[in-house]
Amino acid sequence: MTLSTPLSTAHPSPEPTPTDAPDAAPVQKRLPLVLLLGYAVVLLGGLMMLAPFYFMFVFATHTNSEILSFPPPLWFGSAFLDNITELIKALPYFWNNLGWSAYVALAVTALNLFFCSLAGYAFALLDFRGRERLFGAVMATMLLPSFVGLVPTVLTMSWLGWMNEHRALIVPGACGALGIFMMRQYISSAVPKELIEAARMDGCSEFGIFLRIVWPLITPALGTLGLITFISSWNNFMGPLVILRDMDRYTVPMALRALQGTGQTQWGAICAGAAVAVIPLLLIFVMASRRLIDGLTAGAVKS
Amino acid sequence: MKTTMSTWRQPRKWAPYLFVSPFFILFGVFGLFPLVFSIYLSLHSWDPAAGLAAMEWVGFENYLYALQSDDWLRASLYNTFWMALVSGLPQHLLAMPLAYFLHSAFGRWRNAVVGAYFLPFITSSVAISLVFSTLFSRDFGVVNAVLASLKDMPLLGALMPASNIDWAQPQYTKWMISFVVFWRYVGWNVVLYLSAIQTIPKDVLEAAVMDGANSWQKFVHVVLPLLKPMAFFAVTLTIIGNLQLFEEPFILTNGTGGIDQAGKTAAMHMYSVAFTDGDFGTASAIAWLLFMLIAAATWFNNRLLGQRD
């Protein structure tokens, strides 16, 4: 699998770009050489960005002795299944680890979609005393660096009896401040307040309004938030590092980390494992990179 | 006239509070409580194995110990700031012109090129750091192979090392980690600056062209000043993120910090004081010292870039 193919077809570029024409045309006339150089440098940089992924896939298909030769292999080999076998030998629970990663990420995502949109709806469209202050408090929590609470969080989890339990990774992350912010922004622009009033007149319950009126209108934002939440949970390393103790309960990043350091390092197996961990992210990226970028930068532009 | 009680019987009065309560309950238990407890811990000497009763009030002794006698803290803070600067500054110096260039280049291929730069940001830092430790290996790594092939080139060749670099040696560890961090986050900054450039009204740029400004002058005199608010935001994110750097150095140095702990960051030091040495009190004090440094750095950035003109 090469990266260039899916990437180039992944961006049908839905928004029209003719607006760039007045910008680009005079540049092209005046500085063709400088412009060409610019294109070359930027493309070279782009290749450098993709190169580690390329080598990850190439090495995942080569035996250790092939990788350990100089110069290193530059094209795909045939040892992928051997590397997976090697990986399973080193990490007997690798499929469990994948399952746990998926379970944790999906649970965190589902909970965030529900709780963040519910709170975002209240902050966007409902009137209640202290609304602005409470929302300010939600935003302020984003400024707190997570590592400060790391040590006492571990103590809290052990008092709750949640050490080595996946719920210690799911429950604390079930309703993120960033998600509430994104949902509030989207709901206040996409859901007319009159619609809420009308539904209330018709006798719809408060929760019923959210479920039947608001929820169907915000599916695009739910999709974006879902992807962002899934990715960050899938990649989470700090949490599992201090919570999970047994190898059969590890998530994928923890399992990969366990490959390091013991005896002769099996680079082929490590790259195969890394590839398995990265493939779901690449698929998400290929399908929805524009959406991810827009979702992640939306808040930044407004602030 | 209704009483307060009867208004509270109306669902529309209390429903909003119910709807926003999950966040506050979860934050209270898993966010606020640990933070407050962390302050309490930092003022105590405690061996967690001996139970809660063994906690002993020591005042600011943990802070004083960390500042005065903990040589590794000082070394790790130096490493943290070194890598934060070496990986962070080029991100922004490159991302701004790059975003400007991408804004008017590549036409329908622009999203693909931006995507290539952005991809590292969303991939697992553990997986990709493991791949990088292969790429940076001394005898068969791709990075050394590339450097060796550049040796034959004119001009550039003179700058290349004579023999393969052993990236695990202390004088190179920080460069290696900084490169990986740069690689992971430069695209994120490109995307941020690009989204800011896209909000600049077209007629502002066109007016500059009318006045005879070339592309570079337009960038320096029109675009850069308008990018200042976004630069403030993006640099703030970089400062906060880089000063608590953990995952990339942790994986690239196999959890050890590398030879002479040359790649050990302050967050890694806190982690090992807490979970290797079992000294939760000192670890909490270190966490708050680092928090204060981050706050100071953000404040400094606010003075530098955050002023509204």
CB contact under 8 A, A128 and B16: yes
DSSP secondary-structure letter at A302?
Answer: H
Q: Give dist(CA B137, CA A22) in Å, integer.
A: 48
C-alpha atoms less than 13 angstroms from C-alpha of A98 in its C-beta half-sphere: 14
Looking up residue B276, the CATH number of its domain turns out to be 1.10.3720.10
Report yes or no: B235 at the A interface, CB cutoff 8 Å: no
How much is the ipTM here? 0.88
Please state the domain count of chain B.
Answer: 1
Among the ranges given (A59-68, A117-126, A202-211, A257-266), the one the predictor scored with the smallest mean pLDDT: A257-266
Task: Return phi, psi of residue B58, to 5°.
Answer: -130, 5
Q: CA of B148: which chain A residue's CA is closest?
A: A71
Q: Say if B125 falls within a structural domain.
A: yes
* Average predicted confidence (pLDDT) for chain A: 85
Residue A266 identity: Q
Q: Are A252 and A97 in contact (CB under 8 A)?
A: yes
Task: Tell me the average pLDDT across B248-261.
Answer: 88
Per-residue pLDDT reduced to its tens digit, A70-90: 677 889 988 899 999 989 998
Task: Tell me the average pLDDT across B144-167.
Answer: 76
Q: Is A286 helix (H, G, I), strand (E, B) or coil?
A: helix
Q: Give dist(CA B266, CA B286) in Å, integer.
A: 8
> Which positions 56-85 of B are in contact with A (Cβ < 8 Å)?
none
Between chain A and chain B, how many beta carbons pairs sit less than 8 Å apart? 295
Distance from CA of B72 to the nearest CA of A (A): 18
Q: What is the pLDDT of residue A294?
A: 86
Q: Say if B17 falls within a structural domain.
A: no
Q: Give dist(CA A52, CA B183) in Å, integer.
A: 10
Per-residue pLDDT reduced to its tens digit, B171-211: 899 999 999 999 999 999 999 999 999 988 888 888 888 88
Helix-helix angle A21-30:B202-210, to 10 degrees: 30
Q: CA of B237: which chain A residue's CA is closest?
A: A143
Inform me whether the pLDDT recorded for A295 exceeds 90.
Answer: no
Nearest to A123 by CA among A199, A214, A204: A214
Q: Say if B204 falls within a structural domain.
A: yes
**Alpha-carbon torsion (B208, B210, B211, B216), positive or negative:** positive
Q: Say if B56 falls within a structural domain.
A: no
Q: Give dist(CA A52, CA B164) in Å, integer.
A: 19
Q: Say if B185 falls within a structural domain.
A: yes
Domain span including residue B270? 61-305
Q: Is B278 helix (H, G, I), strand (E, B) or coil?
A: coil
A100 token code pair: 């746990």
For each of the domains in chain A, give its residue range(s) and CATH number, in order of start.
Answer: 4-88 (no CATH), 92-258 (1.10.3720.10)
Distance from CA of B241 to the nearest CA of A (A): 9
Question: Which run of H or E residues covers position B259?
Answer: none
C-alpha atoms less than 13 angstroms from C-alpha of B305 in its C-beta half-sphere: 17
CB contact under 8 A, A152 and B33: yes
B9 token code pair: 């019987």
B7 token code pair: 């208004």
**Alpha-carbon torsion (B115, B121, B127, B129), positive or negative:** positive
Distance from CA of B19 to the nearest CA of A (A): 5
Residues sharing a CB contact under 8 Å with residue B223, sequence separation 6 or more, in sequence order: B100, B197, B200, B205
